[in-house]
Amino acid sequence: MKSKKVMPRHRKEIIRLREAGNTWPEVSKLVGFSRATVQKVYKEEMKPSEPPPQPKEEEVVPELPKYEEARVLGPVPNPRLMRIFFKDREGIGICVKRPQDNHRLNSMVLVKKVEGNEELYRLV
């Protein structure tokens, strides 16, 4: 069966019949197109031609995460953690790592602070 092209007059008829309260099968039978084609045409015609303009938001520059250099101080009993210290400031922290990641003592690592815990860091 050869497919028919949906002409503008058919489109208007589909809109008119559907808005008059006819069901999809009734509309498709009256205009001579399949139900799926009729629904597609209706959806296309009812779509707004241009999206409404959205108010411009001020461009927010996301704050980049702060990375710090630390040296590995040593392991702790938990294989997912290691002790670290910072050369530029006083203090020792705990760093989350994968159990298979082994870092030598005094090796440099990049870490990022974990939100909600002052002494906990994670590898970057």
The answer to which of 4-8, 63-67, 93-97 has the lowest mean pLDDT is 63-67
> Is residue 58 in a domain?
no
Q: How far apart are CA 96 and CA 9, in angstroms?
A: 67
Residue 124 has pLDDT above 90, yes or no: no
> Is residue 80 in a domain?
yes
> Is residue 51 in a domain?
no
Provide the number of structural domains found in the chain: 2
Kindly report, residue by residue over 37-88, the tens digit of the pLDDT. Answer: 999 999 888 876 666 677 777 766 666 668 888 999 888 888 899 999 887 7
> Is residue 37 in a domain?
yes
Q: How many CB atoms lie within 10 A of CB 82?
A: 24
> Is residue 119 in a domain?
yes
Q: Give residue 32's domain range.
A: 8-46
Q: Is the dihedral of CA 80, 82, 86, 90 positive or negative?
A: positive
Q: How far apart are CA 69 and CA 108, in angstroms?
A: 7
* 7/65: higher pLDDT: 7
Closest CA to 119 of 79, 91, 89: 91
